[in-house]
Structure 1
Amino acid sequence: MMTILAYLVSAQEAELSREESARAAISDGMTLSTALSSGAMAVFEYASSQSESTLRPYLTARSKVESAIGLLKKSMAGRPSQLARVERIEAECNKTLSLSQEVVELIRMGGAHFAPMRLREVRELVNEQIVDNKLDTEIAGLDEPYVGKNEFTVSQYRQLIGLLLYGGSALAITLSILVPLLLSRQVTNRLNVIIENSKRLARRAPLLEPLKGADEIAELDHQFHEMAALLGQVSSQERAILANAGAVIFTIDHDSKIVEIGKECEKVWGYSAEDLFGRRLITLVKSDSIDALRMRLESIGSGETATFEADFVKSDGQFAVMLLNVHNAADQKFAEQRYYCVAHDITERKRLEKQLHDSEAKVRSLVENLPAGLMLIDKLGRVRFANGSALKLFNLRSVEEQMFVQRLTLPEGMTDLFSLALQQSGKSLLSSIQLDSGAVPIELSLNIAEVDSDKYVLAIFADLTERLTIERIKQELLRTMSDDVAQPMADIAQILIRLKSGELGELTEKAHSRLQVSVNESERLLRLFDDFLRIRMGDELFAVSIKPSSLSDIVNKAVGAVAVKAAAKKVKLIPVISECQINVDSERIVQVLVNLLTNAIKFSPEKGEIHIANDIAGNAVNISVSDQGSGIPAAALDTIFEAFKQVAVSDATRKGGTGLGLAICKSIVEKHGGTICARNNDGRGATFIVSLPLQ
């Protein structure tokens, strides 16, 4: 009796063990389903945020799926039909995980703009497995009853035990049957809620009320509600991304027909999405770009991405240069190929690039055609760039010959071109280069230039051969002119002197006075011509003979020299001189004052006044000449003492003059150790001040 009872108890324990195994299999299946949906939601969240931290739930879910598959295989090892179900469950899970992993890798490789399309495929696959009960059906099949060959004998033994144990055992058997049935009915009802929620999720419809409890089914239902909320957020973000991407995102088939397109196309191309749906992409490009576009699309292999440019025609007929990023998506779900495309409008960028290219070409042309040679030399003395004039001057075919530094004559004591450039930066210096034909004089300017964070010597030079030849010819011409012009003027002066002496007849007192002025002016004209030749020939060293002289005599002689001119214009000369002795060349100072008075008369109005005065300041005497003319422009005050400079361009013709007078005055005064300057009067007119040392 005890043996039978023990056997029956053992059989009952085995039955319970199989039932527990079935429950464990159901639990593992539910865990697997929950983890699969949780992993999919994690991938959606990662696609939205692109933050690696959001992938942790996905990795955890993937690990749970693999662990659950392992447990199911282990528990169903002795049940071939159930083991086959487990393998089918594993294949479905691997399909979802593989597609999810592809989305993750695509985002990591920079293809985030293609992610929404792949996510849509993940969502469809999850819906197929969860909503369509494909996965749940396989999981539920794991609970099929185990039919043993001795089950009927066990039942008989149970009846015997029931008889032996009277009604107690019968009650226990009844409970053992009713409880699983009730539990199974409760589980079935909760699973029906999960299935219904899956269907609602696929339709984007509101889900049923969440299940209560803390078991796996309730957890799975909770995951469905979280997935629904996350999918709503992702859909909203997808719409926002497509609306504000600034680029046209679309999908075409193997025949280049547009099957999907974002609304940005209306802003970029002027067409609505409805206008472009079903239209071939090649109809949007320029006619001469159709073949090129077709060839580029055909050259993109399965799973490859290509980037290229194409000229599109907008709805208003204008052209737009688009940068296309095209991915060939090889997907078994589609009978035809799909190309995921992102088009950026780069018309403005191309226009700016062309402007920059044209500007660079102009600068390059200007540099190449500069009459001056230009070279860029590194610290090792190697020529990195040379324009056409530089190569021509050095008889070089290209910069590779590297002969510049070796042929250049540097100043004495200088061996380093960089050191010379630092000392003479911005200055010009005379040098020469040694060619096979001999030394060539050049004017050289060195500067330090920084290019791409490296420092170079920028050498600018001009061939002085022709200029020096012209200067030599000019000097010879001026020397010839000095003989051909000075001699007749000297003869005229001699004739005037003979007339004055009475050698050619007696003169009246008035004629004698006028003749003296003519003698003085002829002598001054000879000196002016001589000074002109000196300035033109570069010799500004005027010879002076210093001796004590009376300032009153000097001023009176100068006033007498210009008295006729002043009288002709009715200009009054008013000298107010305090007598003093100064050490000067009196003839040269008279020349200075005559020049200043002549200018004052020219620029004074009729019946104007010219004041000549002096004052002593320390060891110097200041002689001032003030007129009532129009004054001197402020910008000209610093330049009027330069050779050939006048107050205005029209002065040379309207007032007469060569522009040499003030330059000669400055040279004479400086030879005496003095200074000369000009300033405007408070009322009108200008004042010239000559300052000379007393000793």
Structure 2
Amino acid sequence: MVICAAVLLLLGFIYTYTDQQLAEAQRAREALDTCEFLMRTVSQTTAKLWTAGNFEAASEQQILNTTKTKVREKVQRLKELCKDHPEQQRTAFELEETLESSLKLMQRSIEMKAEHGIAPALKIMSFQIATQEHADTLFQCNRRLTEQLTSSLEHSEHASTAETMRPLLLLAATLIAAIGLITAFILNRSVVNRLSKLVLNSKRLATLDKLVPPSTKGENDEIADLDDIFHTMASSLSEAIERELATIEKAADVICTVNSRGELRSVNSACLSAWGYQAGELIGGNLLELVHHDDRSQTKAFIATLKNSEEMETFENKLTRKDGGLLDILWSFRKSETSDEIFCIAHDITERKKAQEDLRKSEDRFAAIKEKMPAGIIIFSEDGEVLDYNPSAITLLGRDQSSIKNTKLEKIIPALHSELNNLSKQRLPHEAEIIQTDGSIKTADLIVEELEQSENRKKQYLSVLIDTTERHEFERIKETLVAMIAHDIATPMTTIHSQLHLAQLGVMGELTEEGAALVHKAEAQSVELMNVLTTVMKTAKYKHATISSGIAATNLAEIVDAVVESTESEQQQKNVDVHLQIDRSLNLLVEPDSSSHAIKVVLTALLRSCPENQFLTIESFFDEEAKEDTLRLRLSHPREGVVGPPQSLAWEFACAIVQANNGHLRFVEGQKFVACEFEFKVA
């Protein structure tokens, strides 16, 4: 077929080329005839004008006018014939100019003859010379144009040969067309059958039916490629549908379709675990039968509204499980664009509803606690604006609600302006002053915590205020009472100790061995009692609030060095060496005076229990199990015999002081050592 088409195209080209050559030959012949006519007309007109026996001006003028008309028409036709050939066109224009000059010369000769006669006119006009010059020019232009046209005509002579081939060309084209038709007819049945199968496969692909298997004849053309593409598309589409069905079947949510009346058309296997029903039990039934009776009317009305909806719609209701349990369901509905089916996804939100309800109850409980809490709670921004507070805060601040809202908190509690950053970082109680409306001062323990906020919002803080006014009064009374008791007991005990010491020295007479032992024992007990009184008097001056407000970064080495130096006498009595293994660059968050006193009390107790001629170690370290900002300070000595935890009043006071410094103190007993460990926060 391709060869037939190529041959037909070649014959058509030859046929077209022959027509062009014939047209060119016809143009050249017509142009030559025109030139011949022009030369003949001019020659005849000239001869008539100058050889006529009787001179009649009117008849000569008429002959000239007729000649002008014919010549100009032929010249115009000649220019049209030569317009596609530039050289011939230029020669035609020259010929036109020469002819116009000849016509003008003829017109002048007629006028001269009419005025002077033939002989004078010839003489005056030099007719012979002028006529000869115009004739030469005219003949040269005519000859040049004739040569050019003759050349074109020679190139077109082959057209006559090609013209004789036209019947043969037509016959060849007819034969080739017949061969093509016969070939097409032979191939038509195979192509039509394959195209029919291709159309059938396209229809089956649209309806998701199985395609007709591809041919086994091994065709390798565009139809076969298209059929392969259809089979590939069908395979990919089948795999996608299988994946989609598998996804629907394995989905945790129930996915189903219902019609406009609420009848279930399909449902996935999740209905068994979610609702307790098999899929076969639900298909054909009405969805409203599963809905709790309190929500059926609303659900039915909602499904009815989906007829005119094109968007995804959501709805919440309660469903009854097969075992009678109630479920909170969040439905997602969407109406099909091609049928009355509604696609549904049922998401179980029972746990979320329960969590929301628990959260609401928790918020209610928190609100009740906040309202009834004796401590004042204030939430404020970094610029001091009060955002929220509880009734106890109103009482503690001594102001009404409008005054609290319209007053910067830093004017009421100055510490929130000067020490806000330190308070929020330490998260420790800090005694602060509260300025009342009448100018009086209240004191309270203040704890500040920074709340988490987004980056583009102001910082917010939570502050807790605990009124310490009454506590300060109790502490003052306690200090007074302790001082009175200690003084009243210390005075007679000093006297008793002095008398016993004098008796032991024999000032009051020589004592028996038994009496001396009793006096020595009584003196030792009096010394112990004096030490207890001294500890009580020293401890009494450390107020809890004073310790909390005085907490600051204190160098560990300075505290330990001072304590070790103050117990040198006890070390020398038992010949005990104190080994220091501490990080001298660390700073503790403690009140220096009270923490030093607590460490000294513990060190003194361990020096008493330490065997003679031994060593006592003081070391600092971080425990991996403890918080990163917590340091352990251990005081230990080798164990000798049975040693129990300290039971003295001084030990109890030391524990209380350490706790007031936000630390811990405990007794540690190992197989080879006895130790006391402090835990302090690191600055």
TM-score bracket for the superposition, by shorter chain length? 0.3 to 0.5
Tell me which structure has the larger Cα radius of gyration. 2
Higher helix fraction (1 or 2): 2
User: Normalised by the size of structure 1, how large is the TM-score?
Assistant: 0.46
